[in-house]
């Protein structure tokens, strides 16, 4: 038997429950009032006096602006999980529901699950917007709240700020022993509506003969009142909307993109740093940007502006920069890509790693297709799918990180990907999706027109205005001064752009193929000269050249600790072979191989390369080394011929036996008698015969009578125990040669 509703009973039922067949206030006003403005602020946990003060000051500032401009302000509170003192939450909730902020529409944004006292703050807001996987409630964390605390929460609910919140829902969230029912009631005309009541409230309606045509139990007695976003939205209570990220929340309330910037960066004012990302993006520029980022963060900067004007560059370097920028905590450091002209290819990838992209209206972003050099060199071609596919996934991950449409980013990489406007069937939200995403949504999104910039065969490229319309960038900006005002940089703080210095340019020159070739060539030539002219000067120059080589490669990102360790180990093994271990074998060969390996590895970064590409890069480095060695051989032959006649070197080196400095036929001493003034401490004389006390390679020990002295062979190696003759004494340097079995002097080749 159906009963009619009397007016008193109807009023009672409205007091105990709230109808849920309501249009979302955000959606209505988002369409009717496009002049809204708003700000996000993160409500950190625990909510203390400082946090209450920051929210209060921001709300009053928005209230003043709303009254002055006759507009509606929106305060979006991102509530973090945690537990706070009830008194602090109560004071903040009272303020948010007071007349002091009557022109402010408050929104609780719950991206992650929140319980305990922090969750109470959401009930003081006009709307509750939650993430798809978030839950809200269980104020007492499994325990019922104190009566005075429950009464305060119910007083907030009775103000009817949130049309989807009823006393029954609030009671279920703060008392685990209560159940929650969705009750369908009918009026005298047969019209139905849903109410959310506890069992006691439902029995009151039954006692008053209200027509109840259906009931659904949402929460069982004894279970915590902790409600999932999707379930609550589907049932029609508590949640105004479900959104994935801040960008979608901004779109829901028709707010400008700058509203996404979090006002809660601590008590300090905005401290900005500008880093130039100009010209081609390569490892040297990448290391410069990374270094400036670390320096700015260490100096306390909380706003990093990347001034990007680049045609692109290396894929791996661009990805590394995008990852490093996107990994920064947006709640502590805001990152902005300022594009005055162009951010093409890898530069676009770097820009997409920032929290905000601000472009000049005529600037360009996009065209991020992956290309690679052909085997012939010089020409470029589209990269293989095994390279493009991981990059497409990287762009999708970057889009999710920074809340941008995945399809739009991927269309910058895939020239055949079409992007369509898509409208949500329930909320009317508009975004941009690929055909695959539309098919995967199971009809949740309605396909619209294809955007003209994603024509087949064309990599997506957008100007500043269009990028803003498609959710890639913020509203366009004319210059850096306007950007300063938008992000609240104080007028007295200069925005000095950090650019590459001469040191960075010098490192870049050293990292070119020619620079590396010259460093290695000069180093080896200096070692060769040092072996013949033991002054120490050329040894120092060689050490400087190798140091510059590894220093430049380290700053360029192609060398690290491993390459340096291999190089030093190679030198140690060669030194052991020469001075410790007789003969020339495993240690010497291994040392040479390690030297070559370290130079090859330091010349290229093999990260992100396929096996074939790594092999080609290794061959290029080996070719450079081979060219350096050929050059050294040619120079050595020339030095061997002309070194003794070079004015500033001829007095520092040994004159080769038989060498005539003057014209043919000029007189010169017999080699066995050629000598220089002897040191009084020298125990041997030219022509003296002795025995090799060790292997001479070419230096070693010689025995003359009872004396053992350091000697140097004038030519090849001399075996241990061989008979030797002193042919020249130059200072403390004793030059010897081997005698044949008959004791005759064998012919001696000249040495340089």
List pLDDT tens digits, range 599-635.
877 776 554 444 444 555 556 666 777 777 788 778 7
Neighbours of 506 (CB within 10 A): 14
Burial class (CB in 10 A: 0-12, 13-18, 19+), 77: buried
Q: Is the pLDDT of residue 443 over 50?
A: yes
- Label residue 25 by pLDDT band (50, 70, 90): very low
Higher pLDDT, 120 or 618: 120
Same-domain check for residues 563 and 690: no
- The predicted pLDDT at position 647 comes to 62
- Label residue 104 by pLDDT band (50, 70, 90): very high
Span 337-349, average pLDDT: 95
Domain for residue 269, yes or no? no
Higher pLDDT, 231 or 206: 231
Q: For the chain, first and last CA: distance in Å?
A: 121
Q: Is the pLDDT of residue 19 over 70?
A: no
The region that residue 525 occupies, defined by phi over 0 for left and psi between -120 and 50 for alpha, beta otherwise, is alpha
Long-range contacts of 372-378 (CB under 8 A, 24+ apart): 372/613, 375/616
Contact between residue 166 and residue 157 where contact means Cβ atoms under 8 Å apart: yes
Same-domain check for residues 483 and 538: no
- Label residue 642 by pLDDT band (50, 70, 90): low
Higher pLDDT, 564 or 460: 460
Higher pLDDT, 424 or 115: 115
Query: What is the Cα–Cα distance from 720 to 734, expressed in whole angstroms?
Result: 17
Residues β-bridged to residue 337 = 306, 357
| Angle at the Cα of 12 from the Cα atoms of 89 and 220, rounded to 5 degrees | 60
Same-domain check for residues 485 and 555: no
Domain end, chosen from 260, 288, 318, is at: 260
Span 301-314, average pLDDT: 93
- Using one digit for the tens of pLDDT, what is the confidence trace for 643-658? 666 665 555 555 554 4
Residue with tokens 């009872």: 706
- Using one digit for the tens of pLDDT, what is the confidence trace for 700-719? 889 988 888 888 888 777 88
- Using one digit for the tens of pLDDT, what is the confidence trace for 215-233? 889 989 989 999 999 999 9
What's the CATH code of the domain at 23? 3.90.226.10
The first and second tokens of residue 472, run together, are 């890639």
Span 269-286, average pLDDT: 89
Span 397-421, average pLDDT: 93
- The predicted pLDDT at position 499 comes to 85
Q: Is the pLDDT of residue 257 over 50?
A: yes
Q: Is the pLDDT of residue 496 over 70?
A: yes
Domain for residue 520, yes or no? yes
Domain for residue 207, yes or no? no
Query: What is the Cα–Cα distance from 297 to 375, expressed in whole angstroms?
Result: 42
Domain for residue 295, yes or no? yes
Residues β-bridged to residue 480 = none
Domain for residue 332, yes or no? yes
Same-domain check for residues 160 and 294: no
- The predicted pLDDT at position 119 comes to 93
- The predicted pLDDT at position 378 comes to 55
Query: What is the Cα–Cα distance from 638 to 41, expressed in whole angstroms?
Result: 74
Same-domain check for residues 110 and 254: yes
Q: What is the CA radius of gyration of the chain?
A: 40
Q: Is the pLDDT of residue 39 over 60?
A: yes
Query: What is the Cα–Cα distance from 500 to 537, expressed in whole angstroms?
Result: 33
Residue with tokens 């081609």: 280
Contact between residue 172 and residue 178 where contact means Cβ atoms under 8 Å apart: yes
| Angle at the Cα of 591 from the Cα atoms of 585 and 593, rounded to 5 degrees | 100
Span 295-321, average pLDDT: 92
Same-domain check for residues 306 and 356: yes
Neighbours of 129 (CB within 10 A): 27
Domain with 90, as residue range(s), is: 7-178+218-260
Domain for residue 265, yes or no? no
CA distances from 493 to 94, 271, 273, 481, 484 (A): 38, 8, 10, 11, 10
Same-domain check for residues 554 and 688: no
Higher pLDDT, 498 or 628: 498
Same-domain check for residues 244 and 291: no
- Using one digit for the tens of pLDDT, what is the confidence trace for 559-597? 778 888 888 898 888 888 777 776 567 888 888 888 888
Domain for residue 451, yes or no? no
Domain end, chosen from 229, 260, 291, is at: 260
Same-domain check for residues 96 and 172: yes
Whole-prediction pTM: 0.58
- Using one digit for the tens of pLDDT, what is the confidence trace for 140-151? 988 889 999 999
- Label residue 383 by pLDDT band (50, 70, 90): confident
Same-domain check for residues 398 and 530: no
Residue with tokens 């069937």: 425
Query: What is the Cα–Cα distance from 307 to 100, expressed in whole angstroms?
Result: 41
Domain for residue 444, yes or no? no
Query: What is the Cα–Cα distance from 666 to 731, expressed in whole angstroms?
Result: 26
Same-domain check for residues 77 and 168: yes
What's the CATH code of the domain at 712? 2.40.50.140
Span 124-139, average pLDDT: 94
> Of 273, 271, 350, 258, which is closest to residue 309 (Cα–Cα)?
350
Residue 564: strand, helix, or coil: helix
Number of domains in the chain: 4
Domain end, chosen from 498, 528, 559, is at: 498
Same-domain check for residues 288 and 331: yes
- The predicted pLDDT at position 307 comes to 95
- Label residue 373 by pLDDT band (50, 70, 90): low
Q: Is the pLDDT of residue 556 over 80?
A: no
Span 398-417, average pLDDT: 92
Q: Which residues contact 550 (CB under 8 A, 6 or more apart)?
A: 559, 563, 564, 567, 602
Query: What is the Cα–Cα distance from 226 to 237, expressed in whole angstroms?
Result: 13
Question: Mean pLDDT across the chain, nearest whole number?
Answer: 81
Length of the chain: 752
Q: Is the pLDDT of residue 87 over 60?
A: yes
- The predicted pLDDT at position 417 comes to 93
Residue 306 CA, distance from chain mean position: 13
CA distances from 223 to 120, 138, 167, 201, 740 (A): 18, 9, 18, 19, 105
């Amino acid at each position: 038997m159906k009963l009619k509703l009397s007016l008193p009973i109807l009023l009672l039922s409205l007091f105990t429950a709230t109808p849920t067949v309501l249009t979302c206030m955000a959606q209505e006003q988002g369409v009717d009032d496009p002049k809204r403005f708003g700000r996000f602020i993160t409500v950190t946990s625990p909510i203390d006096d400082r946090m209450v003060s920051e929210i209060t000051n921001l709300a009053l500032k928005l209230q003043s602006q709303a009254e002055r401009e006759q507009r509606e302000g929106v305060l979006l509170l991102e509530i973090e999980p945690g537990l706070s003192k009830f008194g602090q939450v109560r004071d903040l909730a009272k303020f948010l529901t007071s007349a002091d902020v009557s022109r402010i529409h408050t929104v609780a944004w719950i991206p992650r699950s929140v319980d305990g006292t922090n969750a109470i703050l959401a009930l003081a807001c006009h709307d509750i917007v939650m993430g798809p996987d978030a839950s809200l409630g269980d104020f007492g964390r499994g325990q019922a709240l104190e009566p005075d605390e429950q009464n305060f929460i119910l007083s907030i609910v009775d103000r009817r700020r949130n049309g989807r919140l009823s006393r029954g829902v609030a009671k279920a969230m703060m008392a685990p022993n209560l159940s929650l029912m969705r009750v369908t009631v009918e009026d005298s005309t047969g019209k139905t509506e849903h109410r959310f009541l506890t069992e006691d409230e439902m029995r009151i309606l039954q006692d008053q003969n209200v027509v109840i045509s259906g009931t659904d139990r949402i929460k069982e007695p004894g279970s915590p009142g902790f409600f999932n976003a999707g379930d609550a939205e589907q049932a029609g209570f508590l949640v105004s909307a479900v959104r994935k990220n801040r960008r979608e929340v901004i779109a829901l309330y028709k707010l400008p993109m700058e509203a996404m910037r979090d006002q809660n960066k601590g008590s300090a004012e905005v401290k900005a740093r500008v880093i130039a990302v100009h010209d081609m993006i390569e490892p040297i520029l990448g290391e410069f940007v990374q270094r400036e980022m670390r320096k700015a963060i260490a100096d306390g900067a909380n706003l990093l502006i990347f001034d990007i004007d680049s045609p692109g560059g290396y894929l791996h370097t661009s990805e590394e920069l995008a990852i490093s920028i996107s990994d920064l905590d947006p709640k502590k450091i805001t990152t902005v890509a300022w594009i005055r002209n162009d951010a093409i290819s890898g530069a676009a990838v770097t820009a997409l790693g920032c929290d905000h992209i601000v472009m000049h209206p005529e600037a360009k972003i996009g065209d991020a297709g992956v290309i690679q050099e052909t085997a012939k060199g010089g020409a470029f071609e589209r990269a293989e799918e095994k390279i493009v596919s991981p990059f497409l996934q990287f762009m999708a991950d970057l889009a999710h990180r920074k809340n941008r449409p995945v399809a739009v980013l991927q269309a910058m990489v895939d020239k055949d990907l079409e992007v369509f406007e898509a409208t949500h069937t329930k909320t009317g939200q508009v975004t941009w999706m690929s055909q695959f995403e539309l098919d995967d949504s199971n009809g949740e999104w309605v396909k619209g027109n294809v955007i003209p910039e994603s024509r087949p065969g064309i990599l997506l490229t957008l100007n500043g205005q269009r990028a803003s319309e498609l959710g890639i960038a913020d509203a366009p900006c004319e210059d850096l001064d306007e950007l300063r005002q938008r992000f609240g940089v104080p007028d007295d703080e200069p925005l000095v752009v950090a650019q590459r210095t001469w040191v960075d340019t010098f490192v870049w020159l050293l990292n070119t193929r020619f620079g590396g070739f010259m460093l290695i060539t000069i180093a080896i030539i200096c070692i060769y000269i040092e072996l013949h002219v033991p002054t120490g000067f050329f040894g120092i120059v060689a050490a400087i050249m190798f140091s510059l080589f590894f220093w430049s490669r380290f700053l360029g990102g192609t060398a690290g600790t491993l390459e340096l360790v291999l190089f030093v180990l190679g030198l140690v093994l060669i030194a052991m072979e020469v001075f410790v271990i007789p003969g020339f074998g495993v240690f010497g060969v291994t040392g040479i191989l390690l030297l070559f390996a370290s130079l090859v590895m330091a010349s290229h970064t093999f990260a992100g390369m396929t096996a074939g590409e790594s092999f080609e890069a290794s061959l290029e480095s080996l070719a450079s080394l081979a060219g350096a060695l050929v050059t050294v051989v040619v120079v050595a032959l020339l030095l061997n011929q002309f070194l003794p006649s070079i004015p500033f070197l001829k007095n520092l080196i040994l004159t080769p036996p038989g060498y005539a400095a003057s014209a043919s036929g000029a007189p010169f001493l017999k080699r066995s008698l050629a000598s220089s003034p002897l040191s009084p401490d020298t125990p041997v004389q030219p022509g003296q015969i002795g025995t090799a006390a060790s292997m001479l390679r070419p230096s070693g020990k010689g025995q003359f009578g009872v004396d053992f002295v350091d000697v140097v062979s004038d030519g090849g190696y001399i075996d241990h125990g061989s008979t030797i003759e002193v042919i020249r004494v130059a200072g403390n340097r004793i030059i010897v040669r081997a005698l044949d079995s008959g004791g005759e002097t064998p012919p001696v080749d000249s040495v340089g």
